[in-house]
């Protein structure tokens, strides 16, 4: 739970960038989320989605 909370701001910013179609920037943030929380499967989803856009 603490891992999720520590990466929450980056995750939310990544979602906002993704919705604005700024996929490279959002992918960078989701990778940062994965560094602090390797088990975050939702971040994995956004990384994969961003890489194919």
DSSP state of 1: -
Split into its structural domains, the chain has a count of 1
Which two tokens mark 48?
């994969």
What pLDDT, on the 0 to 100 scale, is given for residue 3?
A: 66
Distances (CA, A) of 1 to 37, 40, 46: 10, 11, 20
Cβ 1 vs Cβ 31: under 8 Å: no
Cβ 49 vs Cβ 26: under 8 Å: no
pLDDT (tens digit, 9 = 90+) per residue, 2-53? 767 778 999 999 999 999 999 999 999 999 999 999 999 999 999 999 988 8
pLDDT (tens digit, 9 = 90+) per residue, 19-31? 999 999 999 999 9
Domain that holds residue 38: 2-51
Residues whose CB falls within 8 Å of the CB of residue 31, separated by 6 or more in sequence, listed in order: 43, 47
Structure pTM? 0.88
């Amino acid at each position: 739970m603490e891992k999720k909370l520590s990466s929450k701001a980056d995750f939310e910013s990544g979602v906002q960038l993704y919705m604005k179609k700024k996929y490279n920037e959002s992918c960078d943030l989701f990778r940062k989320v994965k560094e602090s929380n390797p088990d975050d499967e939702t971040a994995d989803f956004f990384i994969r989605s961003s890489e194919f856009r």
